Amino acid sequence: MFILLSGNSLLRNGSKIVIIKINLKNIIVSITGTLESMQRSEAAKLINEKTNATFNKGVTLETNYLVATDFTSSKAKKAAKYGVDIINEKELLEFINSGEFPQNLKPIKPIRENKNLLNWKKETIYYDLVDPIIIHFRYSDIKNEVSERMIILEALGVYKESYYFAGFNEGEYKTFRHDRMKILDAFYVKANSTVIIQNNKISFLVKNENDDLKTIEINI
C-alpha cells in the first residue's frame, strides 16, 4: 500500500509528491468521552461493520485515530503523547457515512521497541527522534551498488564517530550508514517539527532510553 504526501521540499525549491510504501492491513479507531449521537457500543459496531476500520477500546502505538469528546481523559493524553490523529464526533460520522477512514501513518514506535531488528554494534548508543522526518537519499551498499531510497527516519544510532539512520523503508524497518548516504531531499511528517536543516547540516532533537533530550547535528 502507498501513501502520497504532498509537501514542501526542505532542500529544494517548490513542492513535490512523496510516495511512502507501508504495510497497513487495517485502521484502528478508539473513542474517549461521551458521544452525543449514539452510544459508544453502537459507534463501535458501525466502525467494525460499515468502514475499513476496526474499533479498539485502548490507545496504543497501533491506533490510527482517536475520536475525542473529552480531551482531559487518559486516552486523549496518551494519544497526544504518541502522536495519534485525534478527530471529533462530526468527523467520525462523516467517515462512517462514507464507509472509509482516510489512510494515515500510525504513530512511530520508539527505537527501543525495534532494536532487536537492528544490526548495530553492541556499543552503539541509540536515540529516538522527537519528530520523524522523511529522507530521500542515494545509498551505496557494502557491494558498492547504488540505489535511491526513501525512509521515514525515526531513530539515530551513534557508534564512535559514525552515525546510523533507522526507520521504515518500503514497509520494512531498516538501518543505513550515514557515510554511505547522499541525502537528496527531506520532508517534514508534521508541522512545527523540531528537525532543522540549514547550511548543509541537519539538526535532530532526540531522546535516549530515559527520555533525556539532546540535539545531534550531522553534516549532509
Please give the pLDDT value at position 216: 92
Residues with Cβ within 8 Å of residue 174, at least 6 apart in sequence: 151, 166, 167, 168
Neighbours of 179 (CB within 10 A): 10
Please give the pLDDT value at position 67: 96
DSSP 111: G
Residues with Cβ within 8 Å of residue 191, at least 6 apart in sequence: none
C-alpha cell at 188: 517534514
Q: How far apart are CA 35 and CA 14, in angstroms?
A: 42
pLDDT tens string 8-28 = 555 555 544 444 444 344 689
Please give the pLDDT value at position 115: 56
Please give the pLDDT value at position 50: 93
Q: How far apart are CA 94 and CA 107, in angstroms?
A: 23
- pLDDT by position in tens, the chain (length 220): 334 344 455 555 554 444 444 434 468 999 999 999 999 999 999 999 999 999 999 998 889 999 999 888 889 888 887 778 899 999 999 999 999 998 887 776 665 555 555 556 677 888 889 888 888 889 998 888 998 888 888 889 888 888 989 887 665 678 888 999 998 888 877 777 888 888 888 899 999 888 899 999 998 8
Residue 170, Ramachandran bin (φ over 0: left; ψ between -120 and 50: alpha; else beta): left
**DSSP H or E segment with residue 206:** strand 201-207
Domains in the chain, start-ordered, CATH in brackets?
A: 25-98 (3.40.50.10190), 111-219 (no CATH)
Please give the pLDDT value at position 131: 87
